[in-house]
Amino acid sequence: MSKTFVFGHRNPDTDAIASAIVMAHLESQLSPDAQIEAVALGDPSSETRYALEHFGIVAPRVIETARPDAEQVILVDHNERQQSVRDIDEVVITKVVDHHRIANFETSAPLWFRAEPLGCTCTILWRMYDENDVPIPADLAGLMASAIISDTLLLRSPTTTEYDRRAASDLAGRAGIDLQRYGTDLLRAGTDVGDLSATELIDRDAKSYTMGSTTVRVAQINTVGTGPLLARRDEFLAAMKAEAQQAGYGLFLLLITDVLEVDSDLLVVGEPLEAVEKALGVSVHDGHASAPGIVSRKKQVVPQLTEALREN
């Protein structure tokens, strides 16, 4: 029997890493004879490392390609091919569990596909464990709670649903953590930028999208207090312009998000700039715009910008 890899998107966030680990565990419980391995398409962030270390979980190994080790894959927390493993066209996708839009996705054979408009993929997995009557170990419960905290900014993001709230409360209880206290510590851990360069920071949590005829890159940096990062605005804009030219992005957006204030500043390079302003209701001056209340790439940026670029 061939091995199946389970992984989230490139530049993985906490939900991408957690969902891979949790989905692989669920699959192993439902199919004990299957060869399932959770892997990652990048190193864990400081936030994710904090969660993994807190609950004593080993980070999955990082892969560049699925083959020759695996012929089948399960995608979690993504479905768009440009966000997936490099050789995605050479393997069989057997399952997908995601909470994002569905785009640029097709397969040659039927598959099991579950997508729900919830705040976090781990919330979907929480429901799947319950539906299959599979108990959630305490360490995995803590990791799942961490993913929900991360994706919903401690349940304050507009992406948060009642299912996310219920899941976070239940999982925190199973893990034996205080949701608010642990959640604040986790989010603070994720704001540590250390001595990373602008180029490293804009790639740490970034995704590419095809919107109409435009390839768009949207990055996000979480912080507590945006001042120090905004002081590096020219450095960020230069790095974004260089990467956009090298990779062929028509637009490159960077959200600098204050995770405690739940507000963002936006940096933009590329064209059409008027599409960004129309989609997000902002005014861009010298590559910068205030974006109060905009904290979710998935709900508050990508759908609106996709529609605006479709009209261009």
Q: What is the pLDDT of residue 312?
A: 62
3-class SS letters over 60-96: CCECCCCCCCCCEEEEECCCCHHHCCCCHHHCEEEEE
Question: Average pLDDT in the 133-161 region?
Answer: 97
Q: Can you tell me the distance from the alpha carbon of 256 to that of 22, in angstroms, rounded to the nearest whole number? A: 29
Q: What is the pLDDT of residue 195?
A: 84
Range list for CATH 3.10.310.20 in the chain: 198-311
Range list for CATH 3.90.1640.10 in the chain: 4-191
* Contact yes or no for 256/267 (Cβ under 8 A): yes
Q: What is the pLDDT of residue 1?
A: 57
Q: What is the pLDDT of residue 173?
A: 98
The CATH architecture to which 4-191 belongs is: Alpha-Beta Complex (3.90)
Q: What is the pLDDT of residue 206?
A: 92
- HSE-CB at 49 with a 13 A cutoff on CA atoms is 9
Token pair, residue 254, equals 């960077």
- HSE-CB at 151 with a 13 A cutoff on CA atoms is 35
pLDDT digits (tens, 9 = 90+) for 76-96: 999 999 999 999 999 999 999
Q: What is the pLDDT of residue 260?
A: 86
**Long-range contact pairs involving 58-66 (C-beta distance under 8 Å, separation at least 24):** 59/17, 60/7, 60/17, 60/20, 60/21, 63/5, 63/7, 63/39, 66/5, 66/90, 66/91
Q: Which residue has the tokens 């960020």?
A: 236
- Of 138, 150, 161, 154, residue with least CA distance to 77: 150
| Residue 169 confidence (pLDDT) above 90 | yes
- Of 66, 13, 67, 57, residue with least CA distance to 39: 66
Query: Could you tell me where the beta strands, DSSP code E, fall in the chain?
Result: 4-7, 36-38, 72-76, 92-98, 112-115, 206-211, 214-223, 251-258, 263-270, 288-291
- HSE-CB at 99 with a 13 A cutoff on CA atoms is 25
Q: What is the pLDDT of residue 179?
A: 98
pLDDT digits (tens, 9 = 90+) for 243-289: 999 999 999 999 999 988 899 999 999 999 999 999 999 999 999 99
Rounded to the nearest integer, the mean pLDDT of the chain is 95
Q: What is the pLDDT of residue 311?
A: 67
Q: Can you tell me the distance from the alpha carbon of 279 to that of 307, in angstroms, rounded to the nearest whole number? A: 8
* Contact yes or no for 223/187 (Cβ under 8 A): no
Question: What SS3 class is residue 295?
Answer: coil
Quote the pTM value: 0.87
pLDDT digits (tens, 9 = 90+) for 36-51: 999 999 999 999 999 9
pLDDT digits (tens, 9 = 90+) for 54-71: 999 999 999 999 999 999
Count of Cβ atoms closer than 10 Å to residue 277 Cβ: 15
Q: Does domain 198-311 have CATH number 3.10.310.20?
A: yes
| Residue 237 confidence (pLDDT) above 90 | yes
pLDDT digits (tens, 9 = 90+) for 172-209: 999 999 999 999 999 999 898 878 899 999 998 999 99
Q: Can you tell me the distance from the alpha carbon of 106 to that of 84, in angstroms, rounded to the nearest whole number? A: 13
Token pair, residue 228, equals 């120090």
Question: Average pLDDT in the 277-305 region?
Answer: 95
Q: What is the pLDDT of residue 151?
A: 96
- Number of residues that this document lists for the chain: 312
Backbone angles phi, psi at 157, to 5 degrees: -75, 150
Q: What is the pLDDT of residue 27?
A: 98
Strand partners, 264: 257, 291
